[in-house]
Structure formats: structure tokens, C-alpha cells
Amino acid sequence: MLDIKSIREQPDSVRRRLATRGAGDEAKIDKLLKLDEILRQWNAEIQKLNAQLNKTSKEIGALMTQKRTTEAEEKKAEARQIGDKIAKLQSEKKALEGGKEGDTISDLFRRSILLELPNLPHETVPEGKDAQDNRLVRTWGEKSTFSFKPKPHIDLCESLKLVDFARGAKLSGSGFLLFTGWGARLERALIQFLLDLHITHHGYTEVSPPFIVGRHCMEGVGQFPKFVDQSYAVRQGVRDFDYDFDEPDEEDQDEAEAIGVLKAQDFLVPTAEAPVVNIHREEILKESQLPIRYVAYSPCFRAEAGAAGVGTRGMIRVHQFDKVELIKIVKPEHSYDELEKMVADAERVLQSLGLHYRVVLLCTGDMGFASAKTYDIEVWAPGQGSYLEVSSCSNCEDFQARRMNLRFKTEAGENRFPHILNGSGTALARLFVALVETFQQTDGSISIPAALQPYLKADRITA
RNA sequence: GGAAGGGUGGCUGAGUGGUUGAAGGCACCUGACUCGAAAUCAGGCGUAGGAGCAAUCCUACCGUGGGUUCAAAUCCCACCCCUUCCGCCA
């Protein structure tokens, strides 16, 4: 969430920076400022009346204790008039906004616009429209060479029986993976390897969060309200479940409500960032507690609505994948140093495994909603003949902290919003792909990098 | 899911509908005493928004949201959470 004060003070600068994202959000600023203006007027007026009312009420109290009831009654009539005025102003305020019953203007105000505005890009972020304009920062290693034509992971997974794509789809639909045998073991070994690496070498504290979070958490990290359609909603204890779902009719809406989808307050995590960043929501941390560094494994659930048909084969775009996530909560003045370190931490994963990769600085148009600056790490997958994004490290500055009202108290006693960073360290599925494709042998087996061997308890996967 | 109890400031713990933003205690900060410290004494000590150069003043907040009232931490309704017991269950 952006700071309404700075929008008020420098609307042009905010507009300009939002415009670089290319989503047209800068157009909302005028409406926002107008609302802000109105809100402040109403509040000032209502506040004044409240002061009058409070004063009168106290006078009535004093009169009552002195048993001067006649005078008290007169005052009451006076107070009632003030009360009427306040009620009138409040209902006008609601009407003005077309607000629903129970909404205050500030709720609406906050929800409707501020929550929808993305973060402002940092000055060092290149302006651009899409991935084409991202800037290559560095590469590590080289594309591996083969004496044969490297196979895509799908073929390798099938011949080595690492993943049963058909049965995964049978269970849960396309985009869900059934790991089998060495595939399952490799997946598990990778998770363990990643966690250990970050815990023992990079100073992160492991947390293991719930995989279902409330909507407030999704809102806190900036996932909602914009990406509601990308999430999986869940609801416990569904009653009166209607099984006749294959016959959509005009009652679809009712049916959806019956199973609780429309009213869902709980969601499968799209990333461990959702629960972990929210760990300290609504807290005031001590300055001495910072920086906080967490590492967490979680499965990630993504509806990928609208992406049907795009790279749906194989493991590159799936509805559920594993990920080890890095989270940092730091003092504002350190956040960009911490971002560089976080990228290095994620890079170390690929270096230890001997995988060729490149680091890309995302341009303004390609960055995520909450981020002020993002580096992507893309690993080389020879069977695909392309780079796959396995990590995205972002500094969200105070954007998320504002949304979840997370602050820290400085030595001087001032409350400030910390900066929050998140980065994949790294996403599995795609790492799995790069690994099997990179280390495939002439005989169709996969050799395992030394760093991973203790975890897999094998140096080679064969059919 | 059923029953009972409970949610008040950093913690603890009071609070007959009317100077209660909230007693008391602990912790913390400042000052006095002391060579210094402890003990003791005096004072201070929540968050957010608004007005003002400033001292300061105003408003909101006692789980959340409604309601009753001139006035709500206090009364009413709904919901959430916690604890204990029961049921169910990995």
C-alpha cells in the first residue's frame, strides 16, 4: 500500500512512477485524491460535532449528579440535535460514496483504491513494457554441451519413471504432478538440500507455516484484491454439498455459494510468502529484532487462470509445485543491500548444483504488484533450449508492511515501517527440470551433483 | 460440532452507564538522594488521525461489527478468538 501522505504531497511524481508500470493505475490518483479530500472534510466536520456532543454529555452528567434534572433535560434536547446532525452527515457520507450498509468511507476508500495500487518502482529499475525490456545483469557457468541431442525432461521423466504425468492428471486434472520412485525422492532431497543450505550457510531461521491462509494474509502481501482469480479458495466443513455440478444452470451462483466458494475466507497458499510475511502482522517490533530472516518450505498452489494451453505440458507450469522461500524483514536503510545478498543466496543454490543460469533485472512493466525492484534468476534447461525462471527476489520496501500494519520502534521511540523482501530459494519443479536435463547421460541416466548426493543417497538415477 | 468460562494498555489486574484513555502493581524512562549502585521519594510512560511556529488542544480506539442512550469498557444482538470439558479424528 502506498502512503496516502506522499501521494497527497507529490501526486505528479507518484503518477509518473505508476505510469512506468504500464497498467494505467496512474489514472486512479485523481479519484483517490478527490476521495481523500472529501474524507478529510467530513472527518473534520464530524470531529467538531463530536467534540460538542462530548462536552454537552459531560455537562449533563454533572447536572445529573447535582440532581438539576430540569436543566439536564434541556441539555439533552440540545445534545439530541447535535446527534441528529452527526447522523445526517454520516449517512450523507455513505450515500456520497454509494457505500453499502456498514461501510465507513475510510473502509471503502482504503479498499477500493489504495489496495489496488501497485508499488512504485525503485529509481534503479529500467523502464520498459514487458520481459523484452528486462536487463541482463550477469550469467554464471555455461550451457552444457552434449555429444547427443539432449532430451526434454518429459521424456526423461517418463523413461526413468520419475513423474507419472498421466496419472497425476487422472487424480487432479492437468497441471498436477504425481512424482514416483526416484522422482519423489529427488524432489524431497532437493527440498531438504535447499533448506539446509539457507539455514546453515546464509543465516535464515526455518519456519514451517500453515498452507492455508485467511484473506487478510493474502491482502497483506498484495496478492489480493487483484489476483483473487489466481487463487484456490477452500472452505472447511462444507454442508449440503450439491453433487450435480456437471449440469451448470442458472443456479450456478447459488451452488457456488452453497459450497462456500464465493464467501471463502481461506485460501491455499500461492507461495510461502503469504503466511511467512504475515507472521508479524500488526506487531511493533523492536529495532534490535531486525533484520529477521526466515526460510520456509511450502507447496504452492496457483490456479493459473487464463494460462491454459500455455506450456501446459510437463512440469514447467503447474497448479501445484514445491518451493523454498526466503523472507527478510529489515530496516529501510539496509533493504537494497539485503536484496543483493538475497539474490546471492538464491544463486548459491544453482552454483552448488553446477547449473548454468542468468540473473535478470526486471523492468517496470514486468514487475510484480508489490515489488519495487525484482531480480529473476533463470536456469538453463538444455532439453527445453531455454532459460526457466526458478527464483524471483523482490524488495517490496514498506508496501506490504503498510498493508499489514507491521512496524518497528526505533531507538528514538519512533514507529516506522520496515522493508520486506521475498525471494525464491528456489522453486522446485523447474529446478528439477533443469537438473535432469542438464545432467542427463548418453545412456539416459541422470548423474547427481556432489552437493545433492548425501541427500538423495545416490550418485546416479538409472532406469 | 456440543457445554462452560474468558478476551481491558509492554505484562499483570480493577472497573455501580456520566471528568475512565482507563485505578493498583510490575517493567521501563527522567529527576532527587548517593562517591557510585541498591532501596526510597517525585514525575513521566499506548496507538492512529486532525488543528497549531510552539506549549498545547480536538477526535477515535478496552476482541470485531452493529444497536440502545444526551452519554457505553460497562446494557442488547451477531460474529471472531482463547481456555477447559465432551464428541470426532491424523
Q: Domain locations in chain A?
A: 4-116, 131-231+270-461
The alpha carbon of A147 is separated from its chain's Cα centroid by a whole number of angstroms, namely 43
CA-based nearest residue to A446, from A148, A168, A140, A162? A162
Nucleotide with the nearest C1' to A5 CA:
B49
According to the model, what pLDDT value does residue A101 have?
A: 39
Taken in order A97, A99, A104, A108, the sign of the CA dihedral is negative
Residue type, A271: T
Maximum alpha-carbon separation in chain A: 104
Report residues of chain A scoring pLDDT below 70: 94-112, 235-264, 306-312
pLDDT at A308: 59
Confirm whether any atom of chain B, the nucleic acid strand, is less than 7 Å from CB of A58.
yes
CA separation for the pair A189, A180 (Å, rounded): 13
Q: Is the CB of A99 under 7 A from strand B?
A: no
Distance between the alpha carbon (CA) of A65 and the C1' atom of B8, Å: 27
Distance measured from the CA of protein residue A283 to the C1' of nucleotide B9, in angstroms = 15
φ/ψ region of A264 (left if φ > 0, alpha if ψ in -120 to 50, else beta) reads beta
Distance measured from the CA of protein residue A10 to the C1' of nucleotide B34, in angstroms = 56
pLDDT at A1: 85
- Would you say the C-beta of A87 is within 7 Å of strand B? no
Helix %, strand %, coil % for chain A, to 5?
45, 20, 35
Report if CB A8 to strand B is under 7 Å: no
Residue A294, C-beta contacts closer than 8 angstroms, at least 6 positions apart = A204, A205, A206, A207, A276, A279, A326, A327, A328
Q: What is the CATH number of domain A4-116?
A: 1.10.287.40
Its pTM stands at: 0.90
Radius of gyration of chain A (CA): 27
Q: What's domain A131-231+270-461's superfamily in CATH?
A: Bira Bifunctional Protein; Domain 2 (3.30.930.10)
Nucleotide in closest CA–C1' contact with A61: B18
Could you tell me the distance in Å between the CA of residue A216 and the C1' of nucleotide B7? 21
State, as a whole number of angstroms, the distance between the CA of A22 and the C1' of B89: 51
Provide the CA A411 to C1' B39 distance, Å, integer. 29
